[in-house]
A and B are shown apart, each in its own frame.
Chain A
Amino acid sequence: MPKDGGIGASSKRREDVRFLTGDGNYTDDINVNGQTYAWFVRSDVAHGTINGIDTSAAEAMDGVLKVFTSADFESAGGIPCGWQVTDRHGQPMQEPKHPILAEGKVRHVGDPVACVVAETLEQARDAAEAVELDIDELEPVLDMKAALADGAPKVHDELTSNLCYDWGFVEENKEAVDEAIKSAAHVVTLELTNNRLVANPMEPRVAVADYNRATGDYTLYTTSQNPHVIRLLMGAFVLSIPEHKLRVVAPDVGGGFGSKIYHYAEEAFVTHASKVVNRPVKWTSTRSEAFISDAHGRDHKTKIELALDENHMFTAVRTDTYANMGAYLSTFAPSIPTWLHGTLMAGNYKTPVVYVNVKAVFTNTTPVDAYRGAGRPEATYQLERVIDKAARELGVDPAELRRKNFIKPEEFPYDTPVAVTYDTGNYHATLDKALEMTDYAGFEKRAEESKARGKLRGYGLAHFIEACGIAPSNLVGQLGARAGLYESASVRVNATGGITVMTGSHSHGQGHETSFAQVVADMIGIDENMIEIEHGDTANTPMGMGTYGSRSIAVGGSAMVRATEKIINKAKKIAAHLMEASESDIELKDGQFSVAGTDKSVAWGDVTLAAYVPHNYPLEEIEPGLEETAFYDPSNFTYPSGAYVCEVEVDPETGKVEVLGFTAADDFGNVINPMIVEGQVHGGVAQGIGQAMLENCVYDENGQLLSASYMDYTMPRADDMPMFDVDHSCQTPCTHNPLGVKGCGEAGAIGSPPAVVNAVIDALHRGGFTNVEHIDMPVTPARVWAAMNS
């Protein structure tokens, strides 16, 4: 029976009503009295020396308040990087300055050089065209390997080279890995590219800043996944504004997928400019601007080697990766190819030793940072592709090869050779589930049927693990994070029993307003509609780290549970007083406090009223009121896992691939709202299929972005996608958080790309194209056709 509320119920989303009626409040819907408009002058060359910027003609134009250049930001700091990676030799990464407006050089197409603030948007844009840039074009650095060659032009002249860091993990295992590969019965090698992507939330970025000269207070409305992080980074490191004078509001936000985590130059610009012009300043990104100014994702080039013994047991994995940082370090960029990637290279398998080398490289391209999955899709893709190749080379069933190398259910907790300890899992269960859901046994018959129609059918399997629920602060601190990664919640119970929860998590599509309320309702035993979830405004939520890394329910939800537990404990004291009973005898069920073994009870509302009208109240023992805050810092990551299967048909005449079906069998631990969880998987899988088949960020040899709009960057459309078959019944609850939850936001994007590519390669092999070992993503018709004809 479906539950009708609380944990485990597919409660309808309350936030939907405002989104369905046009009553949402997105940042671009916010207009502040007296508002002015900003338009950025951006570099149209990838690399160049700025000889001069002549703003005089622009300044003289109608409606222009001021034209800003880097000279106006001399007192400001650069955009900070939130993570410092230490290299193989114990040295800190090279960390260049990231100015708000370009200083001395431009380093990528889209690098902001100047900005016009004017009375209207069109006036700002007109004037921006009158800003004269005198830039001497320099040879751009685009290819990562070429960027590291001796004599390559430098993106940052003050650095010793274009190498950000050369990271080895686990460095102590390097020799053991080399030895294992040398002595292995089989070594399977694959070179592959993890294609550069653009996150493309449908809402472009917007920032509106309002400085109040009477109070010295700043308010910034911005499209952010983590307003407190923006307040901290921008206030403390860029503009020297103390937190109590800076309010950051992220209202309804139209998707993020990672790209709205980071502190961007445009946010700092409008905040500072608002004080300078003494007017509110609004900037709204166009989609064209988003393509060159939002942080991109992925962009790894990897060689992976998998060693196996004569029984086909994995004995070692060695990888060699080049990771593109782009022109500057975005907020979390250095952590993605390292700690969010290397630590996942054991996958679901008992590989005894692993060595991961990553060279992070500066190039004259847009900065690269986390995009849904962030490092974990890159790890999963390499591993699941090379395992598929191994199965083919060894002539064994790819499901069986995985199964025999899986960590067994009874072996948890399991210490991997890549520093993390998996708390729970049952990979055999998810694999079996996916094979059953997809009628693995019946595939040959389906392939025959396709063949009769002239099509090549393929079956692709991938299994994945991810580390999410980010993250234990003391651990990430050791690894170079410059922030804690706890989460917070305040639970405010009102006199008549309604509850307002203020969470540090941020919902931009995930449905927290519904699912978080389900948790609190379940704990107290009251109706979900008695609970309101507030998020996104630093003025009324406790310091929180926001939403990314599939962390909201695992970390933010846990903070809310802890705060609610405090509420319940205090409410029990009040109830004990009201019923003249011992606190230890008080039970809470269905919103009623009762005394064990008696028929005495008081309702939730009686207790909450007593807390605020404390006439009959133990004032000598406890304070009036019912409001509690908790901060939760997880003791480990969570480890969702799953088996994904893609079935495709390839048209051998055109190379066009059609996804016939996509199946996901996930283990997310406990599930709060199945409807929302399934929706998250659908969206993640669509992005993964997008990466595998459609999406690609391409620069030409001059550093111009060719895929710079929806005319050339292929966003998945409705007719590109099949119906998805998703399951989350294999549940091994997380052992270290109070809800037993693992997180589900990124899984779909992590597990799906290798499933798709494995299916395409399988189809080609079945069709007789046995020379095709690999096709880089996206597997476009042209690439498939070229591979078939190579």
Chain B
Amino acid sequence: MYNFDIETPSTVKDAVAALKQEDAQPLGGGQTLIPTMKQRLAMPSALVSLKGIDEMRGICEDDAGRLCIGGSSTHAEVAAGAGKYPALAALAGNIGDPAVRNRGTIGGSVANNDPAACYPAAVLASGATVTTDRREIAADDYFQGMFTTALDEGEIVTEVKFPVPEKAAYMKFEQPASRFALVGVFVAKFADGVRVAVTGASEEGVFRWSEAEAALTSDFSASALEGLSLSGDGMINDLHGSGDYRAHIVKVMTKRAVEAA
């Protein structure tokens, strides 16, 4: 890979300052960024490691009962520490593999917004709030298409705040090679309605399946989905599955998530 300087600030403020350098990039767990850099597809002049920032670690509950997860928390830490939100803990515990889960972070995943990543489905289905060094962004405003988010250059995800639903489950149908989601569906039932977010399937990245939400809000059961179908148009079509196949699997995984919730 190209060479760069590595910086290890201990406060968010210092990290933000460091990221003002030209072509500086934040480094979370590096589980996506480092392989990308090995292919020389990214060439930052400096990497600003967020791992040493204590204020970005840890899991707690806020006054509104939301589960607040520091941006530098690893998937393994969330899997172990998000017991208050079991579907989220289970999702975190099934990202990548154990070694990846010991490095990869929620902030990194949410900032990257890989169209097949798991976390975006949880954030969107939960109606979570993405907190950055400068503002709070509602999930519905945050995800803006494949690898695209509302984040500005140099903006850091410092925390994600998850309202805890009454019931929830995440069903992941794995792409067999990468073990990312070929299709992942997160269903979350709140007192005021059901939210369904789908990852892996769409060319637009994570999205909410509004027909399923409406059907499940009036009847939270797998059978409520019977008459629904999704179009394969706009779905990812690759060597692991066609758009039509993905559309079909979205429905199957949604049903299973409802049953598991």
Direct contact of A and B (CB under 8 A): yes
Tell me whether B252 and A654 are in contact (CB under 8 A).
Answer: yes
Tell me whether B3 and A122 are in contact (CB under 8 A).
Answer: yes
Tell me whether B39 and A714 are in contact (CB under 8 A).
Answer: no
Contacts of A698 in B (CB 8 A): 239
Contacts of B241 in A (CB 8 A): 780-782
Contacts of A714 in B (CB 8 A): 176-177
Chain B: minimal CB distance from A339 (Å) = 33
Given contact pairs A288-B39, A696-B239, A780-B240, A710 touches B252 in the complex (Cβ within 8 A): no
Tell me whether B245 and A713 are in contact (CB under 8 A).
Answer: no
Given contact pairs A785-B248, A786-B245, A706 touches B3 in the complex (Cβ within 8 A): no
Given contact pairs A653-B252, A782-B245, A707 touches B178 in the complex (Cβ within 8 A): no
Contacts of A781 in B (CB 8 A): 173, 241, 245
Is B132's beta carbon under 8 Å from chain A? no
Write out, one digit per residue, whether chain A residues 650-667 have a CB within 8 A of any chain B CB (1) or not (0).
000110100000000000
Tell me whether B177 and A782 are in contact (CB under 8 A).
Answer: no
Given contact pairs A122-B3, A785-B245, A654 touches B173 in the complex (Cβ within 8 A): yes
Contacts of B176 in A (CB 8 A): 694, 714, 720, 780
Number of residues from B at the complex interface, CB < 8 A: 19
Is A71's beta carbon under 8 Å from chain B? no
Write out, one digit per residue, whether chain A residues 766-790 have a CB within 8 A of any chain B CB (1) or not (0).
0000000000000011100110000
Chain B: minimal CB distance from A433 (Å) = 32
Tell me whether B177 and A715 are in contact (CB under 8 A).
Answer: yes
Chain A: minimal CB distance from B237 (Å) = 10
- The residue in B3, B38, B249 that gathers the most chain A C-beta atoms within 10 A of its C-beta is B249
Contact of B240 among A122, A286, A782, A785 (CB under 8 A): A782
Complex interface residues of chain A between 340 and 377 (CB less than 8 A to chain B): none
Tell me whether B242 and A782 are in contact (CB under 8 A).
Answer: yes
Contacts of A125 in B (CB 8 A): 40
Tell me whether B252 and A711 are in contact (CB under 8 A).
Answer: no
- Measured CA separation A125–B3 after assembly (Å): 12
Which residue from chain B places its CB closest to the CB of A720 in the assembled complex? B176
Contacts of A656 in B (CB 8 A): 173
Contacts of B40 in A (CB 8 A): 125, 129
The dominant DSSP class at the A interface is loop
- Measured CA separation A713–B39 after assembly (Å): 17
Write out, one digit per residue, whether chain A residues 34-77 have a CB within 8 A of any chain B CB (1) or not (0).
00000000000000000000000000000000000000000000
- Measured CA separation A714–B175 after assembly (Å): 9
Write out, one digit per residue, whether chain A residues 638-682 have a CB within 8 A of any chain B CB (1) or not (0).
000000000000000110100000000000000000000000000
Complex interface residues of chain A between 685 and 710 (CB less than 8 A to chain B): 694, 696, 698, 706-707, 710
Is A712's beta carbon under 8 Å from chain B? yes
Contacts of B178 in A (CB 8 A): 710-712
Contacts of A711 in B (CB 8 A): 177-178
Write out, one digit per residue, whether chain A residues 711-723 have a CB within 8 A of any chain B CB (1) or not (0).
1111100001000
Write out, one digit per residue, whether chain A residues 136-156 have a CB within 8 A of any chain B CB (1) or not (0).
000000000000000000000
Which residue from chain A places its CB closest to the CB of B246 in the assembled complex? A782
Contacts of A696 in B (CB 8 A): 239
- Measured CA separation A490–B22 after assembly (Å): 65
Which residue from chain B places its CB closest to the CB of A698 in the assembled complex? B239
Contacts of B239 in A (CB 8 A): 696, 698, 706-707, 712
Q: List 5 A-B contacts (CB under 8 A).
A: A125-B40, A286-B38, A696-B239, A714-B177, A781-B241
Name 5 extra pairs, CB < 8 A, besides A654-B252, A694-B177, A785-B245: A126-B2, A706-B239, A710-B177, A715-B177, A780-B240
| Chain A residues in the interface with B (C-beta under 8 A) | 122, 125-126, 129, 286, 288, 653-654, 656, 694, 696, 698, 706-707, 710-715, 720, 780-782, 785-786
